[in-house]
Structure 1
Amino acid sequence: MFGSTKLAIKYAIFALIATAANIGAQDLVTQAYRGAYDILASVIVGTGVGLVVKYFLDKRYIFSFRARSVAHDTRTFALYTVMGLVTTVVFWTVEFGFHYVFETKEMRYLGGAIGLAIGYLTKYHLDKRYVFRADAV
């Protein structure tokens, strides 16, 4: 198997794991909190959980990145998060769009999964170019 194919398969699997963590966290929040901002709170918590899971998987298994120190790792995570803000706009737009159009939890989650897939594809290229390159941060 080609190295790039193997990498793409690993990245896709990790994206699925992070997506499951994100959607799972959202579902837990909506079960635990039924207030005025339950959907917004669930999406924010899910996004944070997915971000942390994906960072550790990408850092270790996709980019084989080793931070020089805790400070270096913190700066790298901060840059990773900034790149994630760009793709989060796509993810949230699709998820909230599905929520608005279909008005069901299941379709909102489907929209979230589609938005995450688009975002992760874009994020890989941003991370490769700006976050995990040898001379970054």
Structure 2
Amino acid sequence: MRAYAADFVARVTVRGRLPLDYSVASLRIVDFLIDGLRKGGAAREQVRETLFGLGAYVGEVLVRRAGAEWVDFDADQRAYFGQPVGVRMPDGRVWNPVGKVRNRFDLGGPGESLQTFYLTLHGRGRRAAA
């Protein structure tokens, strides 16, 4: 997923000059991007790959800034989250950043903010950027 996130960032920053620098502040940009997709009237299937890329990016921010690690979900977690991968926090909790991005797209609003998700996330460790 790290490579996928890096490739996604390389593609969108070349064209859009977006400041996706893996900082916590950049998660606000992710919120704005998703809101723009919603307001543009795109169906989820039309933006599926973009949402997955943004989810990979959010997960990589958790890895670099909160001490998480990418993990393959077990069968029960896959069924629950609807995803094959997620992140495990230093305290052992698992989170689904791709699902959080989809929720932001589907539901919108401040309650689904990715930046707020990070700032209120349980199990964060403190780690310098990698």
**TM-score when scaled to structure 1?**
0.40
Greater relative contact order, per chain length (Cα 8 Å cut-off, separation 6+): 2
Bigger Cα Rg: 1
Structure with higher strand content: 2
More helix, by proportion: 1
Q: TM-score, normalised by structure 2?
A: 0.41
